[in-house]
Chains A and B, each alone.
Chain A
Amino acid sequence: MRWFLPGLFACILAQAVLLAPLSLGGIRPDLFLLLVFLVSQRVSPEAATLLGFLVGLFQDALSGSPLGLRAFTYSIMGFLAARLSHDMYTDKPLALFWLLLGGSAAAGGITLALLTFFLGPPPLFPTLLRVIAPEALYTAAVGLLIVWLPQIRAALARAA
C-alpha cells in the first residue's frame, strides 16, 4: 500500500509522457489498469474499489474521456481483482498472461458499453480490433514482464 501513491505518480508520468515512443500503431499498454490489478492483490475489496476509483479519476483527467468513465471501470476491476485474487492466484506465466488479457479486455468491454450508453454506439469491430484487442495484448504482455521481472533478473544472474 505504501507504494500506491508513488506507483500512481509513476503511471501518470509514464502514460502521459514516457510511453509515447513505445506505442505500437498508436496503442500503449494501460499501466493504470496494471496498477489497479497489482494493488488489488494486496488490499481488501473495499480498498481496491476506492483505489480503482481514484486511479480512474486521474486517468480521466489526463485524457479526453468524460470524467468518471475509467473511474467506473477501474472501481469494478479493482473490486473483482481483490475479490477473486485468492481464488485465481497463479504463478504460471501463461495463466497470468491470460488473466491479464481477460481483465484488460473486460475493462475495454465496460468502457465500450459506457461509451455506447453516453455517446452513442462507436463502430464495434474497428473498436474491438484497433483498440480493445491490441490494448489488452500489450497490457498483458507488459504486466507479465513487470510481475516476472524479479524472476527474469534472477535467471539472468544465474546464467551469467
Chain B
Amino acid sequence: MSVLLRLLARYRRATILTTTLVLSFLLMTLQVRHETAVVSFTRQVLLFTVSPFIKLTAVTVQGVTGIWRDYVDLRGLQEENKGLQRETATQKRRIDQLEEQALETQRLQALLAMRQASRAEFLTARVIGKDATNWFKTILLDRGSLEGVRRNQPVLAPDGLVGRVVEVTPTSAKVQLLTDPVNAVGGLIQRTRVTGIVSGNLGAGARVRYLPLMADVVVGDQVVTSGMGGVFPKGIPIGRITAVDRRSGALFQEASLQSAVDLSRLEEVLILMTLEANASSGAGTTFGAGASREAGTSLGAGAGFEAGTGRRP
C-alpha cells in the first residue's frame, strides 16, 4: 500500500492528469446513450448553484440596458437646442418605453393568443441565459420544477417550435434549441406529407435528414412536427426548406431548413405543460397564429395528437 502511495506521490502530476481525463471520459460515456442518475445529479447541482445568479444578472442587465438606452438618447439630444431638448428627451424616452412596452405586449398577446387558440396548457417563461459554448445551442429559462416544468416538455414561440426542455432545476430549465447539433425532431413536409428528421448543424442552422430519395421536396416547403417520437405534438411549424441537397449515390436526400422562429432573438417562450388529448371538437383548433393556420394542422385535436387536419396533396 505504502509503495503504491509513494508511486502516486512520485507521479502525482501524471496521476492527476490521468484521473481527470478518465473521469471526464467516463462522464461522457455514461451519457452517450442514456443519462445516468450520477450525471444528471452533477449537472443539476452545478446548474442550480449558478442559475439564481444568472437570473439576477439577466434582470439587472435588462434594467441597465433600459437606463443606458435612455442615457444614450438623452446625450444625442443634448447636442440640439437646449430649450427643446429636455422636453424632447422626455418624450423620446416615453416613446421608447411605450414602444418597448407595446412590443412586449405584442409578443405576450401573440403568446396569449396561441395559448387560447390551442387546447393546451402553457407556461410563459423568460430567457435568462444562452449556451456557454459556441458548439451547442441551448437557452436557460427562468422557470423550473417548482412551477411544474419537466424534462422533454416542448418549448414554443408564436411562430413555431423552439426546442425541448433537457434539464430542470427547481428555479430554471435548460432548453435544447432546434438548431442544436444533438437535437433531433421528427419533421413532416406539409405539402407532400414526407417525413424526415430535423436536426441541428454545427454552426449552420438546421437540416432535414433522411428524406426518401424520390420524395417531392422543393425550396419553400413548410416543415411541421410529425408527432412521431412522442415528445412533440403533431403540426407545430418548424420552418421552411431553403435548399435541397440530392447527392448521386446517396440513399437519402437532405434539405437545409430556415427555422420558423428567430432563435437568436428569443425573449419569452411558452413551455407546453399539458395537452388536452381527449378534446373531441378540437379539429378546428389551429396552433399558433401564423404558418400553421395555412396548414390547418391542429394541436390537441384528438387522442395521441395525431388527428391533425393537414392538407394532403
What residues of chain A have their CB less than 8 Å away from a CB belonging to chain B?
9, 12-13, 15-18, 20, 26-28, 30, 32, 45-46, 49-50, 52-53, 56-72, 75-76, 79, 111, 114-115, 118-119, 122-123, 126-127, 129-131, 134-135
Contact = CB atoms under 8 A, between A and B. Distances in A.
Contact of A15 (B28, B46, B132, B174): B132
Q: Which 4 A-B pairs have the closest CB atoms?
A: A130-B203, A68-B27, A64-B136, A61-B46
A15 B132 CA distance: 5
Interface size range on B against A? 35 or more
Nearest to B180: A64
Given A53-B24, A62-B47, A79 B17 contact: yes
A64 B219 CA distance: 30
Contacts of A26: 134, 203, 264
B26 interface: yes
B26 A68 contact: yes
B24 A68 contact: yes
Interface in B27-51: 27-29, 31-32, 39, 42-43, 46-47, 50
Contacts, number: 157
B288 interface: no
B130 A118 contact: no
B135 interface: yes
12 contacts: A13-B54, A17-B58, A17-B128, A53-B24, A60-B43, A63-B136, A71-B27, A115-B181, A122-B181, A126-B202, A130-B202, A135-B134
A80 to B, nearest CB: 10
Nearest to B28: A68
A64 B50 contact: no
A53 B24 CA distance: 8
B39 A67 contact: yes
B32 to A, nearest CB: 5
Contact of A62 (B31, B131, B182): B131
B163 to A, nearest CB: 10
B12 interface: yes
B53 A9 contact: yes
Given A17-B61, A65-B135, A135-B134, A49 B39 contact: no
B240 to A, nearest CB: 20
